[in-house]
Amino acid sequence: MNKKKEAVLSHIDEHEKASMVDVHEKNITKRIAIASSKVFLNDTSYKLLKKNKSKKGDILNTARIAGIMASKKTSELIPLCHQLNLEKVDISYNFLESENCIIVKSTSIASDKTGVEMEALVATTIASLTIYDMLKAVDKKIKISDIWLDYKDGGRSGKFVRD
């Protein structure tokens, strides 16, 4: 008989209080995480973004820099996240013309004692919000959705791949 492993919240201590996870005995391993989101736009904002014709400048490059900067500040934004020595953060884009949508994908890499999932998620989210901020003058109905972890590897919990 297969017994289901009981879900344990790692950020709750024995007194049921929020607590930073103790990683002092964990080994340093290479960690990688990839996260993505979708930004849905109207025809006007989609064309401006794709042609890079905004009066505010290069939106995608600005969003890329914002995402990278945010990723480096994850432990300041998410209370129980550890500070990590990020080795690489990358933001890429894929246009989906059929949906007037851009997929924002971030990759975070570090050699550390804990994972980089939150750094990848923060990078993707802030890059998406930057796109919103720079296009909101022409499109108030921009929708950001499907912010999620696509992939992670490294550490005790092993590999995760979103189906």
pLDDT tens-digit readout, 46-97? 999 999 877 788 999 999 999 999 999 999 998 888 899 999 999 999 999 9
In a domain, 15, yes or no: no
In a domain, 17, yes or no: no
Give residue-wise pLDDT tens across range 118-143.
Answer: 999 999 999 999 999 999 999 999 99
Q: One of 133, 139, 150, 163 is an active-site residue; which one?
A: 133
In a domain, 2, yes or no: no
- Asked if 146 is an active-site residue, the reply is no
In a domain, 18, yes or no: no
Assess whether pLDDT exceeds 90 at residue 8.
Answer: no
Residue bearing tokens 């246009």: 95
Domain count of the fold of the chain? 1
Domain range holding 131? 29-155
Of the chain, the percentage scoring pLDDT greater than 90 comes to 69
Give residue-wise pLDDT tens across range 17-27.
Answer: 666 665 667 77
Assess whether pLDDT exceeds 90 at residue 6.
Answer: no
User: Which residues, 6+ apart, have CB-to-CB distance to 13 below 8 Å?
Assistant: 19
**Predicted local distance difference test score (pLDDT) of residue 28:** 79
In a domain, 52, yes or no: yes
Q: How far apart are CA 66 and CA 57, in angstroms?
A: 14
